[in-house]
Amino acid sequence: MTNTAITPQPGIMEIALYQGGRSGIAGRSDVLKLSSNENPLGPPPSALAAIAEAAPSAHLYPPTDHAALRGAIGEVHGLDPGRIICGVGSDEVLQFVTQAFAGPGDEIIHTAHGFSLYPVLIRMAGATPVQVPEADRVVDIDAILDAVTERTRVILVTNPGNPTGTMIPVSMLEDLVERVPSHVIVVLDGAYTEYAAGYDGGAALAGSRPNILMTRTFSKIYGLGGLRIGWGYGDRWLIEVMTRIRQPFNLSGVQLAAAEAAVRDRGWVESCAALNADQRARLLGGLRQLGIAADDSHTNFVLARFADAGEAEAANAHLLGDGIIVRQVGGYGFREALRITVGDAGQTGRVIDSLARWRRAA
């Protein structure tokens, strides 16, 4: 179905229509969804209260400057609010940077197992995606630098990675930004920062260099994926340029209020990180005991690697039979693997038990 008289902008027809992940299983009410790295505890009660409080003002346009939310983020993380931009999920912040700084003829580098949205955002900007390999599922700085050309405008690095769960240390990020030409923006996508003990998401780097942007989200540890809020932090000029293409009312009052309450709720973040660390260790141990390979994870999911694609397919079918939805990651180049979100204690037990039964039956 095409209209030959009307031509879309360059790059748009290269984008495959997004396929949403499975969210239900016909005829089952006890479905356990571990496919989207959502918080097993749901939204924080503090954010739910803020949503209820903000709802009666839904007839009013929201503030356009996001000053209260940027102030809260700055206060909590020790960052300059003037260097923060807020978006509809970090996805929108990633769109700001790709769209504002790259176009037809420009290249944007991303790594082999980065994030499925990156090539889409790059094509949306009309730019050319350049995919570079990783080394044993870990971001490879040298491979990235080898791919840099005069046309490179942006480098997108997910740290910790999705769907790998691995990460590179700050010293290696420093090495990357030290060696990258000054006309290239390095984006550090820190969606899983709060699950990586001791990591600042790249905040210190982004605070000290003119060409680094850190992106963060309220979708993962803050339990607000359905509300769509994220933010970016970087050089004032970068933020100012991106703000020109940000729609003035991109975030609703409800989104802003929920995010502000959530970011101030440090007890929530701490308890979720502790629960995740415990259950992640248990899930990794359980998988390995069953002979299923998995790297140490610095996120709220693990990448379970099976003998081959057929075995991963069989395990997935067995899990679905038990009402458990995990993520097939063939689209990321891992046909032999399944990405499993770390749940609470009961949920993690259910996954391990299901896979143990599958192993015994095999």
# binding residues, ligand PLP (CB under 6 A): 14
CB nearer to ligand PLP: pick between 27 and 226: 226
Looking at 59-67, 194-202, 212-220, 316-324, which segment touches ligand PLP (CB under 6 A)?
212-220
- Of positions 10, 225, 323, 333, contacts ligand PLP by CB under 6 A: 225
Residue 211 binds to ligand PLP (criterion: CB under 6 A) = no
Residue 230 binds to ligand PLP (criterion: CB under 6 A) = yes
CB nearer to ligand PLP: pick between 132 and 355: 132
- Of positions 39, 72, 91, 206, contacts ligand PLP by CB under 6 A: 91
CB nearer to ligand PLP: pick between 227 and 275: 227
Interacting residues with ligand PLP between 94 and 113 (CB under 6 A): none
Binding mask 173-202 for ligand PLP (x = CB under 6 A): ----------------x-x-----------
- Of positions 39, 90, 98, 348, contacts ligand PLP by CB under 6 A: 90
Residue 89 binds to ligand PLP (criterion: CB under 6 A) = yes
CA nearest to 156, candidates 85, 192, 107, 104:
107
Binding mask 125-164 for ligand PLP (x = CB under 6 A): ---------------------------------x---x--
Taking the CA atoms of residue 170, residue 176, residue 180 and residue 185 in that order, the dihedral angle to the nearest 10 degrees is -50
Q: Smallest gap, in angstroms, from Cβ of residue 66 to ligand PLP? A: 15
351: number of Cβ within 10 Å: 26
Looking at 1-9, 16-24, 86-94, 261-269, which segment touches ligand PLP (CB under 6 A)?
86-94
Interacting residues with ligand PLP between 33 and 72 (CB under 6 A): 37
Residues that bind ligand PLP (CB under 6 A): 37, 89-91, 115, 158, 162, 189, 191, 217, 219-220, 225, 230
